[in-house]
Each structure stands twice: as structure tokens, then as C-alpha cells.
Amino acid sequence: MRQLKGEIGVVAKADGSALFEMGNTRVIAAVYGPREVQNKGQQVNSKEALVRCEYRMAEFSTGDRRRKPKGDRRSTEISLVIRQTMEASILTHLMPRSQIDIFVQVLQADGGTRSACINAATLALADAGIPMRDIVTSCSAGYLCSTPLLDLNYIEDSAGGPDVTVGILAKMDKVTLLQMDAKLPMDTFENVMELAIEGCKAIANYIREVLLENTKRLECQRG
Amino acid sequence: MVGLSEGEKHFIRGGIAQDLRADGRRRLQFRSVSVETGVIPQANGSARVRLGATEVIASVKAELGKPSILHPDKGKVSIFVDCSPTAAPMFEGRGSEELSTELSVALQRCLLGGKSGAGAVIDLSSLIVVDGKVCWDLYIDGLVISSDGNLLDALASAIKVALSDTGIPKVNVSLSAATDEEPEVDVSDEEFVQFDTSSVPVIVTLTKVGKDYIVDATSEEESQMSSAVSVSVNRHGKICGLTKRGGAGLDPSVIFDMISVAKHVSQQFLSLLDSEIASAEAAE
């Protein structure tokens, strides 16, 4: 696992925000809401809150600078993945007729942006005080040169080995996100997934520490 | 969008008229500035600037390219700005395009000079590696992370700090015998050349609210503006660019007055920024 860093309250105007770093990967998440549904056409079920998510990469986040059109397919797919993962943990039935926006901005990409975004979004949602079932954390693992590896960086990821991204609800021990590319034998897959889940749990512990620290700070401020 | 009640609007306007703004500042006083350099390790130079609750990141990336046929003795510099949806929900999807373009164009006008590259803040001929064949392309990217008014001034100062942080790798050219061939270049990993950034201007935006004008407006104050004039001034007190925004017309004499005030304020802001840059570099 690479060095983790979490910071709460980085965007002053947002209801909740957080910065999350996994090694050289650095993302910012901001949460706006719960608020009134802005576009009534998007409301499917008036008994539950509408969760929306947008993932964006900064122009300078990758090694080679290239201009990509906004809303390319990769961003749309990751937005969808994050939205589904976060929706699973938010108690949407408590906030009928409202909308929650999650925006994630990648400042630096060095592999595992998906995981970092989910972890940042969890912190930001907690900062916004949105009721959640559990903390969602995510981590990726791979398999290179017949060794399972935790938390791949960009170079390891581009080596072409399999890459398993797992998201879990830490306390309930439920998997909410599972993605893999390339092929992997069944018994090795189990090992790699075990490793990824262990990574998720370690991140969950770290996120709890950050939240506790933040709550203590808030308590001090209130006196 | 900023939603304000009638009472709040009255309070903001009244405060500005009495030279005591909602956050306790005078009319010509900036919010606290904090500067950090080297925030993006992949870039050649980068900086984060916080102006109150406004936060922007600027990065400078250099890539080897070919100079244009019209100006074979000059490198190329381009500026792009993006507003992240983290700053405000209305920047979601394509919602930020209009503002991003407005900011990019205003910055290009102030920093890049004319089409020929004359009057640019960076000496474009210093970006040339081989005349007419190889040059450095500088890409300056601004990203708005958190927005509480006065984005243009924050972006311009972030770009100034990022440029002073930028090191362009030294290049060794091995000249081949045939002149038509592409020259071979060897980019050094250890030696870097720094720019002279003393003439890079800052932008001071004067926002007119009622009869008076203020510097460094917050988004609440900006919602009450009738018009705004952004003046870019360099260290020698020379004006490098000018943009007027907002619908209401201004009397020419008011504009001259605003320019002279901006010139005065910018010198204070420049010294403040210079000391922040020095302390940020010392901290690194």
C-alpha cells in the first residue's frame, strides 16, 4: 500500500469536501446537497434521494499533456461506477425529493484513480453529514510476475497484468464494487481479491482515524 | 448562483459605500493570500494560490515542438483555464465552458501579447532550441478548485508564481551533417533553466458597486456589481492589458481614475506576492 493522506474541508463553499492521496494519485471530492432537485425530469423515484456524480481529470493530471473532450467515455464510465458505489451506502430513503451531487476532480493520476475517488467521496459525504449505512472504501490489487500486488501505480497497471478493483462496505463486509480486466486463474483470483479486501479494510481504518480527528477538531472549535 | 435577500444586498451595498465591507475589509484591501509551489510534481512548474475562499492551481508544462512557419525564431505559449465542478455545481458538464473561455481569453490578452508574440511576458525567443526546427511549447493550465469571486486575479497570480517555479530542461543539440534532417536533441534530466519572471504582470480587478469600486470582490459582492475593470500591471508600473466586464457603461474619466488606483494597488499586491513566493520557495 502506498502512503495515504486524507484532508477534510478543502473547498470552502461546498457542503462537504475532501482531498485524498494514494501515493502520487491525488483527488478532490466535493459534495453539494441534499438540496432541491434541479432538473425535475431526472427524478425517477420521489421517495428516494437522487445521487449524481461527475468525474473529471485535470489537464495536467497525466504525464503527457493532452486535451480530451469533456465527458469522454472513460470519465462517464467512472462517474457511473462511483455513483452506483456511493448510492449503495447512502440512506437515500431518508431524503425524499432531494438531490445529492458528488463531484470528483483528479489533480494527479498515477493509477488507482477509481479507488482514490471513491475514498475521497466517502470522506466528503461524511463531511457533508449525509447519512450512510457504512463507510465505503476501495482499493485495487493486481498480479504480476506470479506475485499478488496491492494498490497498483500507473507503471504497474500498464504492465498488462490483471487489475482487480474492489469496493467494500467496511463493517458490513459486503462487496459493492468489483471490476477486473485481463484473465486470472480462479484460485489466484481468490488470493488477489483477499488482498484487495485487506487493503480496503486498512483504508477504512485510516478514513475512520481522519474522521475522528476532524470531529475532535470541530469539538475543540465549539469549545 | 448566489441567492441573497433584499436586506443582505442592502447591507453589502451600504457597507461598500461606507468603506467597511461585509468581511471587515476596506475597499482597496485584499483578502489573505497563501501561496504554495510545486504542487503538481509531473509539471515543470506549478503553484496553488488561495485568496480567501477562492483556490486555484496553475501548472506549466513544456513539450518539444516545432515553431510556426510565420515565426521560426519564437516558441509557443498557450493558456487554458478549466473550472472544476467542485467549485460550484453549475460548472457541471458543459456548464463551465463559457466562464472558462472568458477567463482564458482575458489571461491570454494580458500575458501573451499580440499575434506575433511581441509584448509577451515571457521572452518567446528564449524558448527556441534550434532555429525554425525545434522549440519549447509551453502549456499553461489553470484549474479553479474553489470559487469565491475574483477568479481572474487569483489565476493571474497563480500563473506568475507557477512560471517563477518553472524550470525548463537544458537541451543538447547534436547537429547532423545534412541540414534537412531532423536535429537530434538530448534533454537533460538534471540541468534546468529558469525564466525571468520579474516582468510578468498581476491582474487587479476593480469591481464597481454603486458609486464606489472595490478590489478582490467575493462572489456575493460580485453579484451586486454594475461593471468591473481588470487591469494587468507589471513591476515597472506599466499596463499590459485591460478588460471591462459587466453591462453598465462607465464614464471615461472614471476608467482613468480606476486605472491609476489599480496601478497603485498592484504594486502593493506584487510586493506581497513576491514575499509569499520567497517564503514558499524557502519552505520547499
B146, A60: Cβ pair inside 8 Å? no
Comparing B232 with A42, the larger pLDDT belongs to B232
Length of chain A: 223
Virtual torsion, Cα A125, A129, A130, A136, nearest 10 deg: 40
| pLDDT, tens digit, 9 for 90 and up, residues A130-165 | 999 999 999 999 988 888 889 888 888 888 888 899
SS3 B83: strand
Nearest CA in chain A to B42: A63
Does residue A223 sit within a domain?
no
How many angstroms away from the CA of A20 is the closest CA of chain B?
A: 14
B209 SS3 class = strand
Find the closest chain B residue to A35 by CA distance.
Answer: B89
**Full-prediction pTM beyond 0.95?**
no
- From the list B59, B84, B146, the residue facing A60 with the nearest CB is B59
Tell me what pLDDT residue A106 has: 93
Q: Is residue A162 included in any domain, yes or no? A: yes
What are the chain B neighbours of A105 within 8 Å (beta carbons)?
84-86, 143, 145
- Other CB atoms within a 10 A radius of the CB of residue A80 amount to 12
Max CA separation in chain A (angstroms): 57
User: Quick one: pLDDT at residue A67?
Assistant: 62
Report pLDDT digits (tens) over A171-190: 888 999 999 888 888 888 99
CA angle A102, A108, A109 (to 5 degrees): 90
Q: Which helix (H) or strand (E) holds B256?
A: helix B252-283
**Is the Cβ pair A13, B88 closer than 8 Å?**
yes
Q: A70 and B55 in contact by Cβ < 8 A?
A: no
pLDDT given for residue A86 in this prediction: 93
Give the C-alpha separation, A164 to A216, whole Å: 35
Distance from CA of A220 to the nearest CA of B (A): 22
Quick: pLDDT tens for A105-128.
999 998 889 999 999 999 999 999
CB contact, 8 Å: B61 with chain A? Answer: yes
**Facing residue for A59 by CB, picked from B86, B94, B141:** B141
Identify which of A11, A65, A70 has the shortest CB distance to residue B146: A11
> CA-CA distance, A121 to A114, in Å (whole number)?
11
Nearest CA to CA, how far is A26 from chain B (Å)? 10
How many domains are there within chain B? Answer: 1
**Residue A210 above 90 pLDDT?**
yes
Under an 8 A CB cutoff, do B84 and A56 touch?
yes
> Which of B175 and A101 is assigned the larger pLDDT?
A101
Domain, as residue range, for A143: 4-218
| Residue A69 confidence (pLDDT) | 59
Cα A147 from Cα B23, distance rounded (Å): 58
pLDDT of residue A68: 61
pLDDT tens digit at each of 284 positions of chain B: 567 899 999 999 999 999 999 889 999 999 999 999 989 888 899 999 999 999 999 999 998 888 888 888 888 888 999 999 999 888 887 888 899 999 999 998 888 877 666 777 788 888 888 888 888 888 999 999 999 989 999 999 999 999 998 988 888 877 655 555 666 777 777 788 888 888 889 999 999 998 899 999 999 999 888 999 999 998 888 888 888 888 778 889 999 999 999 999 999 999 998 898 888 888 76
Residues in chain A with CB shorter than 8 Å from the CB of B41 are 24, 108
Task: Give chain A's domain count.
Answer: 1
Query: Cβ B57–A107 below 8 Å, yes or no?
Result: yes
Q: What is the pLDDT of residue A27?
A: 95
Q: Is the CB of residue B139 less than 8 Å away from at least one CB of chain A?
A: yes
pLDDT at B2: 64
Question: B89 and A105: CB-CB below 8 Å?
Answer: no
Size of interface A-B (CB pairs under 8 A): 88
Asked if B205 and B150 touch (Cβ cutoff 8 Å), the reply is yes
CATH code for the domain in which residue A93 is found:
3.30.230.70
Angle between the N-to-C axes of helices A186-222 and A113-128, in degrees from 0 to 180, rounded to the nearest 10: 30
Chain A: which residues have CB within 8 Å of chain B? 10-14, 17, 24, 28-30, 32, 38, 54, 56, 58-63, 65, 67, 70-71, 101, 103-105, 107-108
Tell which B residues from 223 to 282 touch A, by Cβ distance under 8 Å. none
- Tell whether B244 is covered by a domain: yes
The alpha-carbon gap from A84 to the nearest alpha carbon of chain B, in Å, equals 18
Rg (CA), chain A: 17
- As a whole number, the mean pLDDT across chain A is 89
Domain containing B178 equals 8-283
In a domain? residue B64: yes
> How far is Cα A62 from Cα A85, in angstroms, rounded to an integer?
25
Q: Please, what is the end-to-end C-alpha distance for chain B in angstroms?
A: 37
Domain with residue B259: its CATH number is: 3.30.230.70
Model confidence at A66, pLDDT cuts 50, 70, 90, reads low
Q: Tell how far CA B250 is from the center of its chain.
A: 25
Whether residues A105 and B85 touch (CB distance < 8 A) is answered with: yes
In this prediction, residues A212-220 reach a mean pLDDT of 93
Q: Give CA torsion, residues A203, A209, A213, A214, to 10 deg.
A: 40
Q: CB A12 to CB B139 under 8 A?
A: no
- For B122-185, the three-class secondary structure string (H helix, E strand, C coil) is CCHHHHEEECCCEEEEEEEEEEEEECCCCHHHHHHHHHHHHHHHCEEEEEEEECCCCCCCCCEE
